[in-house]
């Protein structure tokens, strides 16, 4: 239980640090010597919009690559045809999961956006890597 509490505390500090670094909020001392926290929703929304646009473009590019792989896999003859078809099918499933993650990122607020953003980045990179590996396999044969 104590380890879980420490992990949660570290995550909260990391997210707060990242949000501060990104300029999503400011901490200032006022004239009354009290600390005031100001949230910059405009900066957060600008960053979120830019990330969502980039992710959408990467998603579309991956979708086009997968469509080409599906066609190549259909016309592929030789050893491993079944294995390649299975890999393409698995890739399509991962790509469909990305669509759900993009929708989750769009709906995420300031508190959850960083976690969703990091996960989405990792998944996009993994799908792109898998596409490249599959393209290489099909090119060899």
Q: Confidence class of residue 79 from pLDDT cuts 50, 70 and 90?
A: low
| Cα pseudo-dihedral 110, 114, 115, 116, rounded to 10 | 80
Q: Where are the alpha helices (DSSP H) in 22-80?
A: 41-75
87 has a pLDDT exceeding 80? yes
Q: How much is the pLDDT for 138? A: 75
Q: What is the C-alpha separation between 113 and 107, in angstroms, rounded?
A: 9
Q: How much is the pLDDT for 133? A: 86
pTM of the model: 0.61
Interval 29-77: pLDDT, tens: 777 777 776 777 787 788 888 888 988 888 888 888 888 888 877 777 7
- The domains of the chain are located at 1-39, 48-140
Q: How much is the pLDDT for 67? A: 84
């Amino acid at each position: 239980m104590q380890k879980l509490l420490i992990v949660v505390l570290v995550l909260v500090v990391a997210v707060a640090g990242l949000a501060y670094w990104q300029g999503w909020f400011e901490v200032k001392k006022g004239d009354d010597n009290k600390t005031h926290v100001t949230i910059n929703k405009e900066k957060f929304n600008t960053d979120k919009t830019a990330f969502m646009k980039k992710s959408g473009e990467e998603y579309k590019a991956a979708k086009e690559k997968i469509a080409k792989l599906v066609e190549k896999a259909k016309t592929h003859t030789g050893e491993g045809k079944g294995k390649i078809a299975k890999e393409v099918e698995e890739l399509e499933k991962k790509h469909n999961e990305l669509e759900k993650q993009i929708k989750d990122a769009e709906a995420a607020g300031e508190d959850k956006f960083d976690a969703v953003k990091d996960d989405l980045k990792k998944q996009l990179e993994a799908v792109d890597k898998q596409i490249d590996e599959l393209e290489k396999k099909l090119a060899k044969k």
